[in-house]
Amino acid sequence: MENNKPKYHLFKNTQYAIEGFLHAFKTESSFKLELLTSILIIPAIFLFIDSTTHQLILLATFFLILIVELLNSAVENVVDLVTKDIHPLAKSAKDIGATAVMFSIILHTICWAIIVIN
């Protein structure tokens, strides 16, 4: 069996990452929406939050949403590649990925609430 893994090359891997980002932006509406919210979220973090530590927490949890969304999209693509049938395991994989995205959004929201209340 032939290995499908390319050799590591910094510039080539960066190109793959950019291609992945552009593909996700073009094809994944949830990722696009979350990325577009950054136009409001990131300036709000720096305008309304004074503590550098709190700013870092909010930035990290916001980027966590984007990261989890990308991983969820990757899982969905692999599931779609493997089967077009409606299968309980395929549904479960997609639902679990969606749950991970939801938990990352809840985490970010809780961080905002705690920081703003205090």
Q: Does the structure show a pLDDT above 60 at 45?
A: yes
- Cα–Cα distance measured from residue 71 to residue 6, given in angstroms and rounded to the nearest whole number: 20
pTM equals: 0.88
What are the tens digits of pLDDT across the range 52-101? 999 999 999 999 999 999 999 999 999 999 988 889 999 999 999 999 99
End-to-end CA distance of the chain: 58
Give yes or no: 28 in active site. Answer: no
Domains of the chain: 10-117 (1.10.287.3610)
Q: Is 12 exposed, middle or buried (0-12, 13-18, 19+ CB in 10 A)?
A: exposed
Which one is catalytic: 19, 28, 34, 69?
Answer: 69
Q: What pLDDT is stored for residue 1 in this prediction?
A: 53
Q: Give the integer Cα–Cα distance in Å for 114 and 37.
A: 20
